[in-house]
């Protein structure tokens, strides 16, 4: 399996197996992806064309906080963060527990059941559309190792261990998948629990991705681990599974229902789409506090994604007339 990582100061690392090397004459994964799209060839062909240089210690780079989100757009306004929920076979129970107020079937359970029944269509057919949310633009992308700043008005800041797909739109509007990373789809679950219509508010938070980008197809079954550390102790930890064997939708169906909108097929735009989870510490009664460290790991994706919970500065939101 082939992985790419982005160095904050510029430079790309390519890893196959245990060997990691700098990619020659490459400043960013984004530029390599643009080159591949422009030439109509796979990203691996561009990597072969550039060639590999000196070996590097990827774990040491991560430890020294030198790795960035694997792919960024140079203009954050042209980088979309979006996602979908209720896509995993265990996800409905967690969400339903947050929203249930009676014996009636909640909207969450209805959407989940729709996915179970129609989220994996036959080839050539369109499956049922999933839940969808907008999370923000590239200004909300947090690098591995950096703090996830929770807004001053937030009621909660909790992790969501997910897989994210990175996509670049070509000049003809054709969408190209660059690869997949681990993601912490950081959310405010207390706000969401107040009323399901607050889900949109709860998702307008930063998110972290990486450190390694998997280039190629995902395994059907993926195992991972989510952990929260408080000082020297582990506050909470739990395993999670992903991949289509553990989902009610295919990745192809989730991609289709995002990119079917022409606004998301604008040339040059970069999209990061998160595919949901079934594991939340919030569901186990955990409320993280400033300084706690979230760690999301999976052997499928190499290095773990680690971010501390931070606090954003309070802003003056008063609107001034011109």
Place 99 in a pLDDT band, splitting at 50, 70 and 90: low
φ/ψ bin of 21: left (φ > 0), alpha (ψ from -120 to 50), beta (otherwise): beta
Cβ neighbourhood burial of 232 (10 Å; 0-12, 13-18, 19+) = exposed
Give mean pLDDT, residues 207-236.
97
- Per-residue model confidence (pLDDT) at position 108: 82
Give mean pLDDT, residues 19-37.
98
Place 96 in a pLDDT band, splitting at 50, 70 and 90: low
Domains of the chain in sequence order: 75-311 (3.90.850.10)
pLDDT digits (tens, 9 = 90+) for 269-315: 999 999 999 999 999 999 999 999 999 999 999 999 999 999 998 88
d(C-alpha 295, C-alpha 66), whole Å: 17
Radius of gyration of the chain (CA): 19
| pTM metric for this prediction | 0.94
Nearest residue to 176 (alpha-carbon basis) of 274, 39, 301: 39
Place 89 in a pLDDT band, splitting at 50, 70 and 90: confident
CA dihedral 300, 306, 309, 310 (to 10 degrees): -130
Helix (H) or strand (E) holding 225: strand 222-230
């Amino acid at each position: 399996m082939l992985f790419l990582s982005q160095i904050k100061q510029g430079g790309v690392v390519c890893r196959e197996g245990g060997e990691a090397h700098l990619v020659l004459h490459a400043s960013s994964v984004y530029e390599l992806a643009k080159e591949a799209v422009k030439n109509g060839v796979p990203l691996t062909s561009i990597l072969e064309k550039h060639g590999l240089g000196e070996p590097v210690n990827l774990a040491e780079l991560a430890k020294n906080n030198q790795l960035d989100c694997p792919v960024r757009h140079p203009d954050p306004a042209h980088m979309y963060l979006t996602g979908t929920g209720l896509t995993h076979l265990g996800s409905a129970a967690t969400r339903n527990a947050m929203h249930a107020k009676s014996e009636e079937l909640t909207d969450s359970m209805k959407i989940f059941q729709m996915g179970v029944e129609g989220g994996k269509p036959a080839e050539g057919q369109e499956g049922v559309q999933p839940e969808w949310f907008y999370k923000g633009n590239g200004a909300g992308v947090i690098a591995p190792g950096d703090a996830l700043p929770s807004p001053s008005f937030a009621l909660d800041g909790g992790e969501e261990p997910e897989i994210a797909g990175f996509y670049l739109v070509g000049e003809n509007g054709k969408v190209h998948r660059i690869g997949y990373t681990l993601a912490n789809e950081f959310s405010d679950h207390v706000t969401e629990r107040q009323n399901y219509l607050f889900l949109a508010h709860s998702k307008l938070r930063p998110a972290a991705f990486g450190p390694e980008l998997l280039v190629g197809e995902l395994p059907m079954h993926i195992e991972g681990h989510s952990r929260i550390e408080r000082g020297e102790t582990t506050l909470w930890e739990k395993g999670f599974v992903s991949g289509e064997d553990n989902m009610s939708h295919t990745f192809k169906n989730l991609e289709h229902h995002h990119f079917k909108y022409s606004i998301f097929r604008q040339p040059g735009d970069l999209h990061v789409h998160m595919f949901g989870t079934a594991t939340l510490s919030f569901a186990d009664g955990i409320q993280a506090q400033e300084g706690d460290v979230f760690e999301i790991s999976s052997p499928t994706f190499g290095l773990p994604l680690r971010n501390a919970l931070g606090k954003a500065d309070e802003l003056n939101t008063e609107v001034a007339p011109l």
